[in-house]
Structure 1
């Protein structure tokens, strides 16, 4: 069965037709052309597919598209030139870049929820994403920069 789903993606109202079994990650990539969110593990462990759902981080590989109806979705494309993205660039917080969109989106979610996060809160939130290239020090420095305002 096909269902019409309405939601807001990166500030734009969208209506698309989806099957009940469609995964949000696949819908974003295949139907909307938003390929910044990546498929890494398809079971919620790595965080490469992280999006913001009503301003909170969500792993889009774990969510059916029909569950996103009438919600606000922000992908990495919606965070272009954001202070978080700029901090990652300034701190060279990436190697291959595959995990970077998920980290940036997760960090934006952290800032949404805890605008004055301390080091422990930052550490705990960063644990939800995996970098296989081991850029953790640079990533942590970028996130600290976001919260220090420098």
Structure 2
């Protein structure tokens, strides 16, 4: 599902994908040839702080926005047959250069990937069969209407 309205707000969710392993909330960002990195500081005696950088600039607001979208989707599924389903936030960087190491393709619970990585991510094996995924997709479509259809 694409371009879904967030109830009570002027914002939207770019993409939702219901896969066998969960519901993927995907925000696509186009940064041609930009280097994406995750910096970590602290640890041992202090909390670890993770910072998303794009072209050397801090972009933690992207992570915060994705966590908010994840929460909206999880709240939307509350009270449905999909209550408690895993909701996985993903930042998909189109045209960017991502970190080589898998552990550096995550900030908190927000996954970072390119288009090929996105295809692998959403096709992960999981417990949901086609019927269950369709039920969840219908629940989401009913509760998060399209921003473009019917306008």
- TM-score normalised according to structure 1 size: 0.29
Higher helix share: 1
- TM-score normalised according to structure 2 size: 0.29
Of structures 1 and 2, the one scoring higher in RCO (CA 8 A, sep 6+) is: 2
Decide which structure has the larger Cα Rg and report it. 2
Higher strand share: 2
